[in-house]
């Protein structure tokens, strides 16, 4: 019915005004349905015609009061899916490395607090040990002994003894800590004990006993530069000193060890006049810590050359009794310097500095 009424209304709008007005007060014929509508129903019915999809203005042909139907545009092809690959962070620059804090050394590299010398003990069966003692003071209630074998460093605490001085490994660890495995024993540390009587000592552990005699000693005396660590070797002579504040190393080497002189822009020289006269080169380089384990440190640097490519330098230091190849002086660290395709063996030591009094 609505459809016929709307058509009728469209026709009435197209008629002259006098015709249209004559329809409204009377009876309106609603198409073939023959319906009779009251004058009040006509405007109500015609008001709903505009909402029908087929209702159109007879004059303009556009839906009355309705915007044209908008057809959504087809979705655009987003194209192939590209996965972004995370970029690797750029390696730190030489300048930032040189300003970084110095490498942290484990306690096995260092002498005990207030230790004044390294002592060499020759043991039977054939084995050479290095020891350093910490004397008790106002700040410490216990004495400590650090003992270096060829491959390991052990810390022992002084215990009560009827005679002489007696030291035991893990004496300060609680039984609960030992049972839980929080205190990990090094090879040869199980049952390790040293009993001193004058210049003689008896060392025992789970593997057996050693009879030892004191042989040599060397005073712990850092240089005025207060380096963190110094490693050195012979034939050819070389020395690497680590700065105690920053990741900087100073390499001192014979002229023949380094293939060519280094540019001043690429490395910072010290004592240049002495180096020229004695045939020794001194260069200062930033380094990075390539490996930081409980028993070793691996330091790497780039040694600039005259060419475009730099020469890699690597220093490996580890705790272990070491003796200078020329003088036999004792050191608590072994050192290996790899430079210019050569692997050079040497010894080293780290230094412990007392805080300066304010």
Q: Same domain for 342 and 247?
A: yes
**Number of independent structural domains in the chain:** 3
For the sheet containing 311-323, what is the strand order? 268-269, 280-286, 248-254, 238-242, 229-233, 342-350, 330-339, 311-323, 296-303, 288-293
Q: Same domain for 14 and 123?
A: no
Give the C-alpha separation, 12 to 21, whole Å: 9
Q: Residue 235: inside a domain, yes or no?
A: yes
The domain containing residue 156 runs over which residues?
112-219
Residues 101-113: pLDDT tens digits? 888 889 999 999 8
Q: Same domain for 197 and 257?
A: no
Of 14, 35, 51, the one marking the end of a domain is 51
Q: Same domain for 235 and 346?
A: yes
Residues 134-177: pLDDT tens digits? 876 545 556 889 999 998 999 999 998 888 899 999 755 544 44
The answer to whether the CB of 261 falls within 8 A of the CB of 306 is yes
Q: Same domain for 277 and 327?
A: yes
Q: Residue 195: inside a domain, yes or no?
A: yes
Predicted pLDDT of residue 79: 60
More confident residue, 315 or 42: 315
Look over the chain and give the mean of its residue pLDDT values, rounded to a whole number. Answer: 74
Secondary structure in 3-state letters for 185-236: CCCCCCCCEEEEECCEEEEEECCEEEEEEEEEEEECCCCCCCCCEEEEECCC
Q: Residue 148: inside a domain, yes or no?
A: yes
In 3D space, the residue among 260, 255, 108 whose CA is nearest the CA of residue 189 turns out to be 108
Find the CATH number of the domain harbouring 168.
2.40.128.200
Q: Same domain for 215 and 242?
A: no
Q: Residue 139: inside a domain, yes or no?
A: yes
- Grade residue 70 by pLDDT with cuts at 50, 70 and 90: low
Outline where the chain has alpha helix (H). Answer: 2-14, 17-23, 41-47, 94-99, 175-180, 272-278
Complete DSSP assignment for 285-314: EE-EEEEEETTEEEEEEEE--SSSSPEEEE
Beta bridge partners of 251: 240, 283
Q: Same domain for 190 and 152?
A: yes
What is the rounded average pLDDT of the residues 23-35?
A: 45
Predicted pLDDT of residue 177: 41
Q: Same domain for 163 and 274?
A: no
Q: Same domain for 119 and 182?
A: yes
Q: Residue 43: inside a domain, yes or no?
A: yes
- pTM of full prediction above 0.75: no
In 3D space, the residue among 220, 280, 270, 277 whose CA is nearest the CA of residue 250 turns out to be 270
Q: How far is CA 116 from the centre of its chain?
A: 35
Q: Same domain for 241 and 345?
A: yes
Q: Residue 119: inside a domain, yes or no?
A: yes
Q: Residue 72: inside a domain, yes or no?
A: no
Q: Residue 76: inside a domain, yes or no?
A: no
Q: Same domain for 186 and 241?
A: no
Give the C-alpha separation, 97 to 289, whole Å: 10
What is the rounded average pLDDT of the residues 248-273?
A: 61
Q: Same domain for 202 and 235?
A: no
């Amino acid at each position: 019915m609505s459809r016929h009424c709307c058509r009728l209304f469209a026709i009435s709008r197209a008629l002259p005004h006098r015709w249209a007005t004559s329809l409204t007060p009377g009876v309106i014929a609603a198409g073939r349905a023959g319906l009779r509508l009251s004058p009040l129903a006509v405007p109500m019915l015609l008001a709903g015609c505009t909402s029908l999809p087929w209702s159109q203005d007879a004059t303009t042909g556009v839906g009355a009061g309705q915007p044209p139907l908008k057809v959504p545009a087809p979705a655009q092809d987003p194209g192939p899916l590209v996965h972004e690959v995370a970029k690797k962070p750029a390696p730190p620059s030489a300048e930032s490395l040189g300003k970084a804090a110095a490498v942290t050394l484990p306690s096995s590299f260092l002498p005990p607090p207030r230790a004044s010398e390294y002592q060499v003990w020759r043991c039977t069966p054939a084995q050479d040990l290095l020891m350093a003692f910490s004397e008790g003071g106002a700040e410490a209630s216990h004495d400590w002994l650090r003992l270096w074998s060829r491959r390991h460093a052990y810390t022992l605490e002084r215990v009560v003894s009827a005679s002489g001085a007696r030291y035991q490994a893990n004496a300060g660890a609680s039984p609960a800590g030992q049972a839980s495995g929080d205190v990990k024993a090094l090879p040869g540390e199980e049952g390790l004990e040293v009993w001193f009587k004058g210049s003689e000592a008896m060392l025992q552990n789970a593997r057996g006993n050693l009879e030892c005699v004191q042989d040599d000693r060397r005073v712990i005396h850092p240089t005025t530069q207060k380096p963190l660590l110094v490693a050195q070797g012979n034939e050819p002579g070389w020395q690497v000193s680590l700065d105690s504040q920053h990741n900087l190393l100073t390499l001192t080497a014979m002229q023949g060890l380094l293939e060519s002189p280094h540019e001043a822009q690429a490395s910072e020289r010290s004592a240049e006049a002495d180096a020229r006269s004695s045939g020794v080169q001194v260069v200062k380089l930033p380094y990075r810590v390539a490996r930081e384990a409980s028993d070793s440190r691996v330091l790497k640097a780039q040694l600039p050359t005259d060419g475009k490519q730099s020469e890699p330098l690597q220093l490996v230091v580890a705790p272990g009794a070491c003796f200078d190849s020329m003088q036999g002086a004792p050191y608590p660290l072994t050192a290996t310097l790899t430079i210019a395709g050569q692997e050079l063996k040497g010894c080293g030591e780290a230094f412990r500095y007392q805080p300066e009094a304010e």
